[in-house]
Structures are given as structure tokens and as C-alpha cells.
């Protein structure tokens, strides 16, 4: 049973697909999903982090201007951020920005193209762009890479390419830029939490308890989190639902200690229900097999 529309809190994230603190917010958003379920609705507004690196300058992190120097600074910033938010990053071979690919706007426009096929599938696509940018050193501003990620996310690739190139997605992105400016969201992530006619704007990375307190304030306590039950099966279903999750996402979503989390993962590894995929300074865990694919090594389909 779904909540009535007037009983739903909407969390709008102003974002960019390659923003590291947006990437670092994923564990908190997973915990919100687990704790509040269909009492929350998530949506995204694309804010466009870097229009052109040659004209961009982030004085706090000394990023902008020369692409090669900027890549080194971005990699350094991402590693520092990873040490704080816990999501994995890979910086060896990092080459996101260049003379040929000086902008993150293509990733934003690609999300808007995906959104035309539905919010849920667009969310999966956004996650794949974040993963590919943060942990696979892929140049996600390349159309060829975006098409591969769209296919992996289950999008209708022909439709995606059409919307991506015919101006529809670009126009939708420009509308998002206007909304971003109207709210004064100059840094990402920025979160707009809305309930009925009331709203609160939170700037920057936020902890779970901050969201919980704001939801309580906006709803007058009408919407409360439900207890997240912890079990081996619950954690396995969480991994299956999201397909690839970092350990910090499991730890955060289920409020586990490092020891507890490791214990549950060890059990799932022993039962050969999950597998590990290395990801830079960390790793993801995934369900052992994807039934929608054939294995060329075993010949099993």
C-alpha cells in the first residue's frame, strides 16, 4: 500500500552526476529509503557542476583552468572526501576533464534523457554514472560511455540516444539550471525537503540524523521512521535490490558496527550468494549471478 500524496515527504537533491559529496551521500539516502520507505519520495535536479573547466575555478579545492592540473586536484579532493564519507573512489588513471571533454554538462543532459523513460530507471542510470565516474575512471562525458551505461541500466538505448541528441534533454536540463538558480543552490549536494506547503533547504553533505530531525519538524511528528530489521536475509535482499553496494552503504542502512557488517558479509560470501568487485580504494558487493546474462566462461545461460 502506498502513502497518500499528502502524506509523503519529498527530498529533492540538487546535484551533478560527478559530484563526490553527492556520491558520498548515497549511504545516507539508502538509510532513508530503508527507514522511511514509501513515506519518502526522492527526486533530482541537475545543477551542472562544470560548464567548461577552462572557465571554472573552485578556490577552496584549487580546481579549474588547465584540465591536466585540474584532474590531479579533483583526484586529491575525491580521496580526501572518500576518507570522510566512506564511499570508494579510484584515482589511478583519472582523466575526467580534458580539452576534448571539458564539461560535466553531458552527464547532466544524459540524466534528463533517461528521466524521460521514468524516474526509477533514471535513478539507476544516475547511480551507474556516479559509479563509473568515481570508481572506474571512465570518461563519462563521452557519448559512447553514456550509451554503454544506459544499456547497463536497462534503458531503451535508441530512445535514450534520440532524446539525448535531439534537444529535448538539453532543454530539460536548462529548466533544471533555472530551478537551481531560483533556489540559490550554488554547491552540491543541496537538499530541498518538502511537506505540504512547507520546505527546508539544506546545503552540503548531511548526516542521517539531520534529515530525520527535519522530517520530524516539517511533519510535526506525523511521519516517523520504522525499525529496520537486521538479518542475513535482509542484507542479501538489500544487495539484490541495489545490485552493487559499498560496505559503508550496508553499514549505514542497517546501523551496524564494522565487526557486525563484516560478519554478515562473511556469511554471505561463505554461502556463495555474493561476490566482490574491487573499486579503487574500496569494493562493491554484488549478487553472485545475474540471470539475465550468459556466462561465456561456463557456457551457462
Mean pLDDT across the stretch 215-221? 97
The whole-angstrom separation of Cα 253 and Cα 232 is 14
What's the mean pLDDT in 228-235?
97
55-73 average pLDDT score: 82
Domain boundary among 161, 182, 203: 182
Q: What is the mean pLDDT of residues 158-178?
A: 98
pLDDT at 295 over 70: no
> For 4-32, how does the pLDDT look when each residue is reduced to its tens digit (9 = 90+)?
556 899 999 999 999 999 999 999 999 99
How many Å apart are CA 120 and CA 142, to the nearest integer?
23
| Mean pLDDT, residues 263-292 | 92
Residues 55 and 172 in one domain: yes
- Boundaries of domain holding 251: 232-287
Claim: this prediction has a pTM higher than 0.85? yes
What pLDDT score was predicted for residue 1? 36
Q: How confident is the model at residue 91 (pLDDT cuts 50, 70, 90)?
A: very high
Query: In terms of domains, do 28 and 149 share one?
Result: yes
65 or 255, which is more confident? 255
pLDDT (tens digit per residue) in 232-270: 999 999 999 999 999 999 999 999 999 999 999 999 999
Residue 5's pLDDT is 57
What is residue 67's predicted lDDT score, i.e. its pLDDT? 86
Judgement on whether residues 173 and 242 belong to the same structural domain of the protein: no
Closest CA to 114 of 77, 157, 79: 157
Assess if residue 113 is contained within a domain: yes
135 and 281 inside one domain: no
Grid coordinates given for 137: 575512471
pLDDT at residue 159 is higher than 50: yes
CATH number of domain containing 169: 3.40.30.10
Q: Does 224 fall in a domain?
A: no
- Domain count for the chain, please give it: 2
**Percentage of the chain with pLDDT > 90?**
87
Q: What is the mean pLDDT of the chain?
A: 93
Helices and strands (H, E) in the chain, number of each type: 12, 8
d(CA 76, CA 79): 5
Asked whether residue 292 is assigned to any structural domain, the reply reads no
Mapping DSSP onto H, E and C, the string for 226-242 reads CCCCCCHHHHHHHHHHH
pLDDT, position 297? 47
Which tens digit of pLDDT belongs to each residue from 130-150?
999 999 999 999 999 999 999
State the DSSP code for 245.
B
CATH at 262: 1.10.10.10
Does residue 273 lie in a domain region? yes
Instruction: Over range 50-64, report the average pLDDT.
Output: 82
Amino acid at each position: 500500500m502506498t502513502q497518500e500524496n499528502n502524506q509523503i515527504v519529498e527530498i529533492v537533491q540538487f546535484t551533478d552526476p560527478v559530484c563526490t559529496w553527492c556520491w558520498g551521500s548515497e549511504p545516507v539516502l539508502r538509510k532513508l529509503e530503508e527507514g522511511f520507505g514509501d513515506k519518502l519520495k526522492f527526486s533530482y535536479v541537475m545543477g551542472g557542476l562544470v560548464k567548461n573547466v577552462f572557465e571554472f575555478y573552485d578556490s577552496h579545492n584549487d580546481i579549474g583552468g588547465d584540465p591536466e592540473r585540474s584532474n590531479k586536484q579533483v583526484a586529491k579532493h575525491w580521496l580526501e572526501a572518500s576518507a570522510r564519507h566512506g564511499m570508494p573512489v579510484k584515482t589511478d588513471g583519472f582523466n575526467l576533464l580534458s580539452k576534448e571533454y571539458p564539461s560535466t554538462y553531458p552527464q547532466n543532459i544524459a540524466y534528463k534523457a533517461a528521466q524521460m523513460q521514468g524516474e526509477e530507471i533514471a535513478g539507476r542510470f544516475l547511480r551507474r554514472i556516479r559509479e563509473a565516474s568515481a570508481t572506474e575512471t571512465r570518461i563519462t562525458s563521452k557519448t559512447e560511455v553514456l550509451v554503454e551505461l544506459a544499456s547497463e541500466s536497462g534503458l531503451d538505448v535508441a530512445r535514450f540516444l534520440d532524446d539525448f541528441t535531439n534537444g529535448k534533454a538539453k532543454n530539460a536540463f536548462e529548466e533544471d539550471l533555472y530551478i537551481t538558480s531560483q533556489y540559490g543552490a550554488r554547491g552540491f549536494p543541496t537538499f530541498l525537503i518538502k511537506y505540504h506547503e512547507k520546505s527546508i533547504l539544506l546545503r552540503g553533505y548531511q548526516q542521517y540524523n539531520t534529515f530525520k530531525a527535519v522530517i520530524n519538524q516539517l511533519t510535526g511528528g506525523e511521519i516517523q521512521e520504522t525499525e529496520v530489521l537486521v538479518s542475513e536475509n535482509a542484507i542479501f535482499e538489500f544487495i539484490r535490490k541495489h545490485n552493487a553496494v559499498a560496505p559503508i552503504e550496508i553499514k549505514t542502512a542497517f546501523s551496524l558496527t564494522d565487526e557486525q557488517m563484516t560478519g554478515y558479509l562473511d556469511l554471505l560470501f561463505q554461502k556463495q550468494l555474493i561476490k566482490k568487485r574491487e573499486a579503487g580504494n574500496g569494493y562493491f558487493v554484488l549478487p553472485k549471478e545475474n540471470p539475465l546474462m550468459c556466462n561465456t566462461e561456463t557456457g551457462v545461460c
